């Protein structure tokens, strides 16, 4: 997955990041910084995108 590629995230994670991003922007944070912080928050809370592949969680 290339940096910035959000294909591996669930729709719920994408909505959550958008909501967090809007909150940061309302507080005066730039769009780019708000987006970075939002995805960092989603990653911390949910552990990143969808997991897959053979042997995962074993």
pLDDT, tens only, 4-52: 778 889 999 999 999 999 999 999 999 999 999 999 999 999 887 776 6
17/6 Cα distance (integer angstroms): 11
Q: Is the pLDDT of residue 1 over 50?
A: no
Contact 17, 49 (CB under 8 A): no
Distance of CA 15 to the CA centre of its chain: 9
pLDDT digits (tens, 9 = 90+) for 48-57: 777 666 665 5
What's the pTM value of the predicted model, to 2 decimals?
Answer: 0.75
pLDDT of residue 5: 79
Using left for φ > 0, alpha for ψ between -120 and 50, and beta otherwise, residue 50 falls in: beta
């Amino acid at each position: 997955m290339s940096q910035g590629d959000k294909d591996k995230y669930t729709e719920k994670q994408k909505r959550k990041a958008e909501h967090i991003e809007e909150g940061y922007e309302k507080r005066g944070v730039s769009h780019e910084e708000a987006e970075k912080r939002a995805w960092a928050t989603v990653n911390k809370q949910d552990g990143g995108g969808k997991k897959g592949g053979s042997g995962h969680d074993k």
